[in-house]
Amino acid sequence: MCQLVRCPYCKANNDRVIDSRTSQEADVIRRRRECLECKGRFTTYEKVGETPLRVVKKDGTRVPFDRDKILRGMLVACEKRPVSTETLEALVSDIESQLHEMFDKEVASKYIGHLVMEALREVDQVAYVRFASVYREFKDINQFLDELKPLLGASGVVDGAEKS
């Protein structure tokens, strides 16, 4: 497909590409161009246009995806826990990549919450339970205990005693 690019010097749209290179992340193409009218040289950058991902909330409203909101939730869950901000940022990047690979336009907030909980479960179980208690809106201690049972069984502690 032929792109019309105007020369920044003479405003003609008659140029040729001299050199093309992709960025290290391969998400931007740098093109060195020469205007065939005035012989001026200039650089253009091309990036694939992405449709922004939208989140469908529980009440049916739709909002733009916001990776910072996920990071803020994880930071709150990891308050006073031995989890670095770099680790959380990497988790958010992984979650965001998964979402863009799996969904084109919209994703349910419930699914995002599930991915966050799974990521936190692997990194810090206390942070996981903190996040789950807010995300799943625990109404009483029994719901809280139901969430803890699988974790306690996996760690070797059941009913206050270690498994033999």
Same domain, 42 and 58: no
Same domain, 73 and 143: yes
pLDDT digits (tens, 9 = 90+) for 28-86: 889 999 999 999 999 998 877 667 899 999 999 999 999 999 999 999 999 999 999 99
Same domain, 24 and 74: no
Give the pTM: 0.60
The structure tokens 């922004």 sit at: 52
Is there a contact between 135 and 156 (Cβ–Cβ < 8 Å)? no
Q: How many domains does the chain have?
A: 2
pLDDT digits (tens, 9 = 90+) for 75-107: 999 999 999 999 999 999 999 989 988 998 999
Q: How many CB atoms lie within 10 A of CB 99?
A: 18
Same domain, 69 and 105: yes
Going by their DSSP bridges, the two strands 28-35 and 15-22 should be labelled as antiparallel
Same domain, 42 and 68: no
Same domain, 147 and 79: yes
Range of the domain at 27: 1-48
The whole-angstrom separation of Cα 48 and Cα 29 is 9
Going by their DSSP bridges, the two strands 41-47 and 15-22 should be labelled as unpaired
